[in-house]
Every structure is written in structure tokens, then in C-alpha cells.
């Protein structure tokens, strides 16, 4: 599936795309005070929670208020590192090199140095309690896929897109990235950051306030179900992708 494809856009537009401008307008009106620092803290907590981090937002913010050091507290440091990656994204253009740098920043607590900011050199699968759920593309093909992926992102960044199209392509970017699964670990965090990075670069910095990570955490079972389009990279059926694509604009309703 090419992330520049509009194959599903007509159906997406009829389902929710045509409502996205109004949903965004209403959401931004309710959140007129734009606090980037607080929003990225919130986003980082929820994105980490999706991956199993047990520190909730209230606990994290109170720990921050206590001004204690994160040293020795792995889950707290994990969130703090993701916050740094979001800050890096806000201050830098979306590119392959900068995505790798952001991964290097946020993966310090769960990957050895040689795997941070580097594409994987091993076969990776996604497992549940019932066994293998998804088998990603072989490691020798990851670099080629990511070269194509970022070539297509460059095309999208240079195109004139309306708001509905931006949301549509941001979701496709998120979905395709997860399916490539280019890192040994940290793919979900990177995909959610990448989606929002694309939104803000195409539209406005204020879209860092969009509560995607919170929504995906609240709808975690549907989030994973909607990502699941096949048992391996070669048997993905993107004809079933619409439920995932609608999640991003639906995040504006919370």
C-alpha cells in the first residue's frame, strides 16, 4: 500500500472526512489556551501507557511537581525521554534522519545503544497471549521500504492538501509505519509521534494539542484490532483500513 494513494479517500470522506474541519474547529475552540509543554507530557504518558507503562498522568504530573529526579525510576524516565523526542520533533522538520534521531532519544530505557535510532537487523513478530499475531517484513528489506516510505512522505509534504486529506494521509502514514515495523522496539511510539508530526508540519503547530494518544489508549482494543489487517507484511488487506483511518478524526470528539 502506497501512503500517497487516495484509493480509500472517497469512502473516508463520506464516513468522517467531510466532518473533520468542523470537528477540529470545535475541538480547538474548546482548547483555546495552547500549552505545548503540558500537551506533550500528556501525549507521552498515554503513548507509553499503550506500550505497558503503568505510570498514569496524575502520578506523573505529581512526580514532576515534587521535583524529584527520575534517576533509577525506569518508567518515569521512559516517559521523560519520550517528552524529549516530542520536543525534538516540534523543533525539527519531519525527515527520515530526524525520525531516527527521535527514536534514539526515546528508546534509551529499553534498547541497547547499538539499536537506538537504527533500523532492525533481526526478524520481528508481534505476539499476544495466543501466539504470533503479525510477522513484519524481513530485516534485509527494511531500509528499502523506509526509503520508499520517506520518499512518499516528501511528496505529501510538498503537495497542496486540504484538511481532510491531511488527516487521511497522517493515518495512512501511522498504519503503514506500524506494518513495516522498522525498529527492534519502539515502533508504536514512533508511529504515533510520526502521525502528529505530519499533521503539525502540514497544518499548524497547534495540532500538537490533538489528543490522539489519549484516544488510542482509551480505545486500545479497537486500536490494535484496526491495525490488524493481515498475518504478515505480504498478506495485508488495506481494503479493511477504514476503521483505523477514522480513529484520528474521532479523537477530536473526546
pLDDT at 62 over 80: yes
- 3-state DSSP assignment of residue 253: helix
Residue 180 parent element (H or E): helix 163-180
Distance, in Å, from the CA atom of 89 to the CA atom of 193, rounded to the nearest integer, reads 8
Could you read off the pLDDT of 169-179 as tens digits, one per residue? 999 999 999 99
C-alpha cell at 37: 509543554
Q: Is 133 helix (H, G, I), strand (E, B) or coil?
A: strand
Structural domains in the chain, sorted by start: 9-253 (1.10.3290.10)
Rounded to an integer, the average pLDDT of 40-67 is 93
CA neighbor of 105 nearest in space, from 87, 131, 119: 87
What gap in Å lies between CA 142 and CA 164, rounded to an integer? 30
Q: Model pTM?
A: 0.96
What is the rounded distance in angstroms from the CA atom of residue 12 to the CA atom of residue 19? Answer: 10
Nearest to 8 by CA among 252, 229, 210: 229
Per-residue pLDDT tens over the stretch 142-195: 999 999 999 999 999 999 999 999 999 999 999 999 999 999 999 999 999 999
pLDDT at 73: 87
Amino acid at each position: 500500500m502506497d501512503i500517497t494513494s487516495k484509493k480509500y479517500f472517497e469512502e473516508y470522506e463520506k464516513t468522517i472526512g467531510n466532518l473533520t474541519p468542523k470537528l477540529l474547529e470545535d475541538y480547538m475552540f474548546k482548547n483555546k489556551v495552547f500549552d505545548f509543554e503540558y500537551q506533550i507530557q500528556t501525549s507521552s504518558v498515554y503513548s507509553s501507557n499503550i506500550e505497558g507503562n503503568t505510570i498514569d498522568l496524575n502520578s506523573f504530573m505529581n512526580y514532576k511537581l515534587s521535583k524529584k529526579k527520575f534517576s533509577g525510576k525506569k518508567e518515569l524516565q521512559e516517559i521523560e525521554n519520550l517528552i524529549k523526542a516530542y520536543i525534538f520533533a516540534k523543533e525539527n522538520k519531519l525527515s527520515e534522519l530526524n525520525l531516527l534521531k527521535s527514536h534514539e532519544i526515546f528508546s534509551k530505557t529499553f534498547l541497547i545503544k547499538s539499536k537506538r535510532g537504527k533500523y532492525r537487523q533481526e526478524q520481528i513478530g508481534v505476539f499476544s497471549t495466543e501466539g504470533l499475531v503479525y510477522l513484519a517484513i524481513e530485516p534485509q528489506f527494511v531500509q528499502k521500504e523506509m526509503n520508499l516510505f520517506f520518499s512518499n512522505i516528501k511528496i505529501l509534504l510538498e503537495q497542496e492538501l486540504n484538511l481532510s486529506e491531511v488527516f487521511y494521509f497522517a493515518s495512512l502514514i501511522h498504519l503503514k509505519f506500524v506494518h513495516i515495523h522498522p525498529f527492534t522496539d519502539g515502533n508504536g511510539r514512533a508511529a504515533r509521534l510520526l502521525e502528529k508530526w505530519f499533521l503539525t508540519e502540514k497544518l499548524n503547530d497547534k495540532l500538537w494539542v490533538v489528543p490522539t494518544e489519549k484516544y488510542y489508549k482509551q480505545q486500545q482494543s479497537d486500536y490494535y484490532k484496526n491495525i490488524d489487517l493481515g498475518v504478515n507484511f505480504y498478506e495485508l488487506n488495506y481494503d479493511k483500513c477504514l476503521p483505523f483511518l477514522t480513529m484520528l478524526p474521532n479523537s477530536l470528539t473526546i
